[in-house]
Chains A and B, each alone.
Chain A
Amino acid sequence: MDRPIRVLVAKPGLDGHDRGAKVIARALRDAGMEVIYTGLRQTPEQIVQAAIQEDVDVVAMSILSGAHNHLFPKVVNLLREEGVDDVLVIGGGVIPEDDIPKLKEAGIEEIFTPGTSTKDVVEYIKRNVKR
């Protein structure tokens, strides 16, 4: 069906600015997606409830504070607890190479580190949405 991909762009954790998240939001919009932007300092619980209410195809999280090892998997687990299994979860931000395998194992399907072009993110989403 010809419908726009819906993406929740969220910033979990306590770090203070969302420039990166806004750049991604605009790039996704320009690629024809509907971006639900929820702003700063979201708890994993809020992200998951918003993802459910908005019926998104993708949850894209960005984090700079270093809390990714805790917060990213928490979101995936809460989604699973709610029975949500058709949402693509991706993450971005300042994330050390060493942490990436563990995060992928936890169910974050792709991690984009600084320097990734927004075009790659768009392409990745288009190829990997689950419905």
Chain B
Amino acid sequence: MNLGERLLNGDRRACARLISMLENNDLEAVNIIKELYKHSGNAYVIGVTGAPGSGKSTLTDKLAKEFRKRGKKIGILAIDPTSPFTGGAILGDRIRMNDLTLDKNVFIRSMGTRGSLGGMSRAAWGAVKVLDIFGMDYIFIETVGVGQSEVDIVKIADTVLMVMVPNLGDDIQAIKAGIMEIADVFAINKSDLEGADRTKLEIEMNLDLSEKKDYRPPVVKVSASRNQNIDELVDKLIEHRTYLEETGKIVERRKKNIRLEIMKLAEEEFLNLVMNKAHKGNLFDKLVDDVISKKLDPYTAKDMIMDFIKG
């Protein structure tokens, strides 16, 4: 049996191996997914993001358990930053999910961003497809909310869950920085600590200010570590899904994301093609030398590369 057949048969090792191969841009895996793509489309993707340490992993663990109670199969993709200096990473989200490890209807995968141009997106998009074809009903993607990654999560998720915590001055900062636009559901985690009501109020006030739409993101107080109010949060996530499905907005959203994905894939390959050609005969190095010695400028160098590709 080949890897693709094994994946369809629920073979966990095949699932894991295909995710790795796609992560490494392996052509064999790409061809397998081409074959199996028609089997995808069942999974619903929930992005979980928020500040470092806000409890995303603990919450994902509890959410997964609640969805399991409701009979759903769960994939979890936990993404952590790769060190730009060494290319290494410590992926520690599993620590909070250890007792899901032996559940045959849960598959957890950790992933480094690996820093490359669009690398995280391509690898995450790939992993989601594999988990979808593998038969997962819900796929959670945990990304830490710093810099670009929390904005990137919208490009892959059907529903974005924003995890906030009480009494973090930074929250307000984050609200300003534009998370209001991408969050579909807010969880105020660590509501066992003081200040949760105030944080909820602040978010609600911000929601009041944003232009009225037919959907208003709910704000749910939870405590992941105490397993409190998780069922309500799951209800809200499902309500958002229902809203998207009933209004047809889910198709719009997925179209937008698929468009982006195809563009990213093309962009990456196109760039490789151009650079490989330009690197042949050291054209690229020569151009760089010429620009540094002011014989050329970067714009002319670019024109020469384009001429070289076309000609």
Binding site for B on A (CB under 8 A): 1, 3-4, 6, 25-26, 28-39, 42, 45-46, 49-50, 52-55, 82-84
Contact = CB atoms under 8 A, between A and B. Distances in A.
Interface residues of B, number: 30
Interface stretch (B18-26, B155-163, B252-260, B297-305): B18-26
A28 B88 contact: yes
A30 B26 CA distance: 25
B16 A55 contact: yes
Q: Which one of A6, A53, A54, A84 has the greatest number of beta carbons of chain B within 10 Å?
A: A53
Interface of B: 12-13, 15-17, 19-20, 23-24, 26, 82-83, 86-92, 94-95, 98, 101-102, 107-110, 112, 114
Nearest to B108: A53
A42 B88 contact: no
19 contacts: A1-B24, A3-B20, A3-B24, A4-B87, A4-B89, A26-B90, A28-B88, A34-B82, A34-B91, A34-B112, A36-B91, A50-B94, A50-B101, A53-B15, A53-B16, A53-B107, A55-B13, A55-B16, A55-B20
Contacts, number: 84
A29 B12 contact: no
Nearest to A42: B98
Contacts of A36: 91, 94, 110
Main secondary structure on B side of the interface with A: mixed
A38 B12 CA distance: 19
B58 to A, nearest CB: 13
A52 B16 contact: yes
A29 B16 contact: no
Given A26-B90, A53-B108, 16 more contacts: A4-B114, A28-B88, A32-B86, A34-B91, A34-B110, A35-B89, A37-B91, A37-B92, A37-B95, A45-B102, A46-B102, A52-B13, A53-B101, A54-B110, A55-B16, A83-B13
